[in-house]
Amino acid sequence: PTPPRSNLPDPGPGDALDTSPDAATERLTQVAESLLGDASRVALADVLGSDWPSARRVLADLTTLDLRPELPYRLTWSGGLTIDPEREPAWLSHGYLERAR
């Protein structure tokens, strides 16, 4: 069962969330442009830091961005995989963020 919820009103962060139809598209575009800069292609290994929780968030945003055909960005993956037990995560799949148009 789910935990009990309070009956008190909660004006929490949901009120600050931009729910306009274009808000998600604008945020994803900002993420892509901040990673690409002036380049048309960037290796994910170069833009994902060693902070795994932050890297997961960026990968989630980039996956969402790739699934939006109206946006001009794509993820491409190579067949290679690098293993390094000293890193977090210990594996690296070689991929790129690219401008599609």
Nearest to 58 by CA among 88, 32, 91: 32
pLDDT band at 15 (very low <50, low <70, confident <90, very high): low
Q: 74 has which bridge partners?
A: 98
Longest dimension (CA), the chain: 53
Task: Tell me what pLDDT residue 60 has.
Answer: 92
For residue 99, is it left (φ>0), alpha (ψ between -120 and 50) or beta? Answer: beta
Rounded to 10 degrees, what is the CA torsion of 44, 45, 49, 55? 50
The pTM score is 0.71
Q: Which residues, 6 or more positions from 25, have their beta carbon under 8 angstroms from its beta carbon?
A: 68, 70, 71
Q: What is the average pLDDT across 75-92? A: 81
Residue at 92: amino acid letter: L
Nearest to 73 by CA among 57, 61, 91: 61
pLDDT tens digit sequence for 26-72: 999 999 999 999 999 999 888 887 777 888 888 899 999 999 999 99
pLDDT band at 10 (very low <50, low <70, confident <90, very high): low
Q: Which two tokens stand for residue 38?
A: 């002036």
User: What domains can you pick out in the chain, each with its CATH number?
Assistant: 23-99 (1.10.10)
